[in-house]
Amino acid sequence: MSFVKEVEGVYRLKVPFEDLYTSVFLILTEQGNVLVDSATYVSDVDNYITPALKEMGLSITDIHYLVLTHKHGDHVGGKNRILELAPSIKIVQEIPLIALKGLTVYEMKGHTLDCIGVLDIQSGTLISGDGLQGAGVGKYRCSLKSNEEYIKTIERIRQDKRIENILFSHAYEPWDKDGVFGREEVERCLLDCIKYIKGEI
């Protein structure tokens, strides 16, 4: 398992999870490095995340921030092990700004009321975690806490013209892929999300 480049400075590691996978993202910046999410189990840190970082010439202690997109187990399971290995890492679970130029924590209520994402302004890439789901996936199909908040989130993203790409944590229906690239594809994705919630798909 290796980190694979999605856009300049942003990489994805697919960690096995049940019959699919969950994603851990690595963002490299001149001011510091960021992990987004921590997979499902303590063992995922030792078996997947640490070796993948080593391939990139990094260790856990080279990570400055760990952003947790929400509190579901397949996103936060490795947090305590990461803190054990690197106690100085700053954990971000809410909306305060990351003190790194070009990155913004993005509120994404809907799937859960604590969902956040990370916007890499330079590449125009929003890492959405489970914050955008289309028709959902497997047993998590459309497991939205608040449809109203979800639609607000989608409309906020539609209005934010900085967003050129969106990276999801899993390959969601109806797209069967884990990211959309280019403003036109982003717009189609967001409209699909709204249509599904409104029962139009």
- Residue 121 belongs to domain with CATH number: 3.60.15.10
Q: Name the residue type at position 94.
A: E
37 within 8 A of 2, measured Cβ to Cβ: no
Provide the domain limits for residue 186: 4-197
Burial group, residue 69, by CB count within 10 angstroms (0-12, 13-18, 19+): buried
Q: Are 141 and 111 in contact (CB under 8 A)?
A: no
Helix axes 147-159, 183-197, angle to 10 degrees: 160
Task: Name the pLDDT band for 69 (thresholds 50, 70, 90).
Answer: very high
What per-residue confidence (pLDDT) applies to 11?
Answer: 98
Global confidence as pTM: 0.93
**Which helix H or strand E contains 147, and what residues bound it?**
helix 147-159
CB burial of residue 26 (10 Å; 0-12, 13-18, 19+): buried
* Model pLDDT for residues 168-185, shown as the tens digit of each residue: 998 888 888 899 999 999
What's the pLDDT band for 140 if we cut at 50, 70, 90?
Answer: low
Q: How many domains does the chain have?
A: 1
